[in-house]
Amino acid sequence: MFTGIVEELGTVAAVEKHRTGARLEVRCSIVLADLAIGASIAVNGVCLTAVAISEDCFAADLAPETLSRSNLGDLGEGSRVNLERPVTPATRLSGHIVQGHVDATGEVVALDELGDGNWWLKVRVPKSLDRYLVEKGSIALDGISLTIAALDHEPVVGVTIIPHTYANTTIGQARVGTRINVEVDVLAKHVEKLLAHG
């Protein structure tokens, strides 16, 4: 489980494509401090398993499901990625509960400067996720815990990006048309299932 609070921007060192999957190598430093083989790590909000670790890099295998549901297959050498280690029992839950199980990808519609380093990000998400989205609810975009500030019928989600988030995550590199990983609030999914069987 993660919180959606990005710890570090990593850099893709290599992507090795396989017939049915891929291996991703990411250069980083902070998240390596206590990373062990077999441990989980979120890359752009996708929960991956570290399968190899070196002094400045870790590797993870990407399953076909991961490649079809996320934007990790779009990455190439030099791409920047958001990194987060899983929570521990003593960790503050600063964001919201993020599983690292990406539901789909959305598309950046706009990233407009509001002034004083603040930005307004609009992302079109698949209609199938609309029922889990509410204003002032939580959403993870590329693994970043954000609050939905506006929502329209398409659906397009609007969120405010503060200067810290813009400078320390991949949001600052987003352009119109960029694919972005979307994970809706898992609690909404559980409520929906409980009500359907109630």
Whole-angstrom distance, CA of residue 163 vs CA of residue 165: 6
Contact 142, 89 (CB under 8 A): no
Whole-angstrom distance, CA of residue 170 vs CA of residue 159: 15
Catalytic residue numbers, as ranges: 2, 40, 47, 49, 63, 101, 147
Other Cβ atoms less than 10 A from the Cβ of 30: the count is 12
Residue labelled with tokens 């939905």: 148
> Following CA atoms 72, 138, 33, 41 in sequence, which dihedral angle do they give, to the nearest 10 degrees?
-40
Ramachandran sector of residue 35 (left: φ over 0; alpha: ψ -120 to 50; beta: rest): beta
